[in-house]
Amino acid sequence: MVINNTVKAAGLIAVLAVLLILVAALNPGLSERISQGLALVTSPRLDTGFTLTDPTGKTVTDRDYRGRYMLVFFGYTFCPDVCPTTLTVLAGALDHLDAATAAKIVPVFVSLDPERDSPAVMGQYVAAFSPAIVGLTGSADAIAQVKKSYRVYSAKVEGSAPDLYTIDHSALLYLIGPDGRFRATIDPGHSAAGLAAELSRAVQ
Q: Which residues are annotated as a binding site for Cu cation?
A: 79, 83, 169
The DSSP secondary structure of the chain, one letter per residue, reads -HHHHHHHHHHHHHHHHHHHHHHHHHSTTHHHHHHTT--EE--S------EEE-TTS-EEEGGGGTTSEEEEEEE-TT-SSHHHHHHHHHHHHHHHS-HHHHTTEEEEEEES-TTT--HHHHHHHHHTT-TTPEEEB--HHHHHHHHHHHT--EEEE--SSTT--EEEE---EEEE-TTS-EEEEE--TT-HHHHHHHHHHH--
**Count of all residues that appear for the chain in the document:** 204
CA distance 125 to 147: 20
What are the binding residues? 79, 83, 169
Count each helix (H run) and each strand (E run) in the chain, helices first.
7, 10
